[in-house]
Amino acid sequence: LQISYGETLTVSDLKKFINDNIDADILHISGHGYYDRKRNIAGLMVGNEFWMADENDYRVPAVVILSACHVSPRGSGTVNIADMFVRAGAEAVLGTFIPINAKRNMIFINRFYTYIAEAQKGSRQYKTLSEMWTGVVATNAIHEIAETSKKFFDWIWGLNSKGKIRMMDFAMERSVGRLRGSTVYADTILVVKEMLHEEGLDGKFDDILNQKNYFPESLFYQWIGFPENIFLYDINEQN
């Protein structure tokens, strides 16, 4: 993967950076979102400027990722920047309904790009952006639970008796095919308790696993457009 990075503090500089990198496959903007409820509009704060991306003097790549708070609220007919990026040429835009936690977003999006990188290296686990996103969301519950407790975080990222990182063991082996969309949290907890049982730790972390006070932040992200039309690899290539 090749990355072009820029820090911009004005809208004009941001649009110049976008236009200078129009051949990119993905535009990722990490910044501050602003939802003006009185005017029912949502956009980005670029330096001291509010930007709705509603001009016609720029174009964006096929995929746009917005790591910013409530840039794509729904339900009240809000005019928002995610929709404007579709008008500016994007095939698929990832936005957020609500304010998001920066650390959790970092973990979430890091996993997103990891799957893209794996597809470039030959993995055929997911064919399209839509399929991959479904997988990321389904397996993100364990990360959301881990963020609620330092002790559980340290345990799940520690090594088991076989020398494997428990989080990797969970993600790559134990949870495969067992996490259903409608019961992903219950399914995740069941797998974790099986892991604890094998280590003779029945009952450990029950105060965390049974409280269910973790916040399902990943459910408040939404794709606008057609992520099912974005392929992670050339489907005409021979395996």
Three-class HEC string of 176-213: CCCCCHHHHHHHHHHHHHHHHHHCCCCCCCHHHHCCCC
- Highest mean pLDDT among 60-69, 71-80, 94-103 belongs to 60-69
- What average pLDDT does this structure show over 198-202? 94
pLDDT over 60 at 72, yes or no: yes
pLDDT for the residue numbered 214? 67
C-beta separation of 63 from 129 below 8 A? yes
Contacts of 63 (CB under 8 A, 6+ apart): 25, 26, 27, 90, 91, 92, 93, 94, 129, 227, 230
Q: Where are the beta strands (DSSP E) in 97-191?
A: none
Lowest-confidence segment of 149-163, 177-191, 205-219 by average pLDDT = 205-219
Between strands 41-46 and 49-51, the pairing is antiparallel
What length is written for the chain? 239
DSSP-derived secondary structure letter, 225? E
C-beta separation of 27 from 60 below 8 A? yes
pLDDT over 70 at 51, yes or no: yes
Give the separation between CA 50 and CA 81, rounded to whole angstroms. 11
Q: Which helix (H) or strand (E) holds 33?
A: strand 32-36
pLDDT for the residue numbered 213? 65
pLDDT for the residue numbered 217? 76
- What average pLDDT does this structure show over 109-136? 90
Average pLDDT, the chain: 90
- What average pLDDT does this structure show over 105-111? 86
Give the separation between CA 205 and CA 184, rounded to whole angstroms. 18
pLDDT for the residue numbered 153? 93
Residue 138 or 68, more confident: 68
Lowest-confidence segment of 34-43, 111-120, 195-204, 216-225 by average pLDDT = 216-225
Residue closest to 91 by CA, chosen among 225, 236, 222: 225
